[in-house]
Chains A and B, each alone.
Chain A
Amino acid sequence: MLADMESSEPAITPSEAQAAIADAEAARTRLASSLHLPSYFYSSIGAAIAVQIATGATGIANQETWGMVLLSVGVLVFVLVAAVQLARFRRLNGAWLGGLASQVLLGTAGLASITYVAAFALATWAAFAGAGWLTPIAAVAGGAVYAGAGRRWWRSYQGAPAEHSRGEQTVVVVVAVVLAVAFLGALVVLR
């Protein structure tokens, strides 16, 4: 009889439920807080983006072979810096964050995307218009804001790790890479 009564009660009391949720959320916050970015993370990403914008804009404006080489070198520098920083993050923390890769490094966060496109467009226009002095300024500004957008994403992640931990879906990243490669291919073919 007593056993029947006990079995009809919930297996867990409301106070136990509250404690279980609080403990689990505290563990998640602790894990997110224990993650650290590698040294020179933002500065290296900002610098790599600035180099990529400057070399890309100059390369597009001077569509000789050396221009395409310059453009490719800029892309390569960025890819190398991003790969090294992601590997360092993984090694340092024993964890992988898709959100860090896509939002911070690939710039899929709104502010980073808009800034990158605007800075690249301005730098390219300046290179075509003979205002070469403006190209490095636009590149450095683009890199700085890009890095700032990454810093902002990191703060958002620390505040709500579950909402920001995941990156873009693979299909989105693949489409972006295909479009970028197609754009570069078109530049080479049409020059």
Chain B
Amino acid sequence: MPDLDPFLQAPARLKLMTMLTAVSEAEFATLRENLAVSDSVLSKHVSALAAEEYVRSRKGMHAGRRTTWISLTPVGRAALRSHVAALRELIAGVE
């Protein structure tokens, strides 16, 4: 049985990573609004995931102002796939 990823056990991180599979890249504010969390909470999650190389963040421009764009890395995509597989096995184990 694949192991659960400790870095993805926080629900907000799992949501963030899963949301990023729907886009190639998203602006910080777009993710914050969809996750319904504060700037600081999202910033902490992004920093933690970036430290594991699960996401990549870069500075850019949006609507004429400086902002941060975030995307999933191949490492993050593989980690998410493995974590979700572990969750599904856990569910399947009781069905």
Contact = CB atoms under 8 A, between A and B. Distances in A.
Interface of A: 10-12, 14, 17-18, 20-21, 23-25, 27-28, 30-32, 34-35, 90-91, 93-99, 161-162, 165-167
Contacts of A24: 11, 14-15, 17-19
A95 B25 contact: yes
Contacts of A91: 62-63
Contact of A93 (B11, B17, B21, B30): B30
Given A11-B9, A32-B22, A27 B4 contact: no
Nearest to A10: B90
Given A24-B14, A98-B24, A17 B19 contact: no
A14 B90 contact: yes
A165 B35 CA distance: 19
Interface string B11-46: 100110111011111110110001100000000000
7 pairs of A and B residues whose beta carbons are closest in the complex:
A94-B27, A94-B30, A161-B22, A24-B18, A98-B24, A162-B21, A17-B87
Contact of B18 (A10, A28, A93, A166): A28
B27 A95 contact: yes
A174 B91 CA distance: 43
Contacts of B59: none
Main secondary structure, interface of A, reads helix
Contacts of A25: 18
Contacts of A99: 24
A94 B19 contact: no
B51 interface: no
A10 B90 CA distance: 9
A14 B94 contact: yes
A34 B26 CA distance: 12
Contact of B23 (A12, A17, A31): A31
Nearest to B32: A94
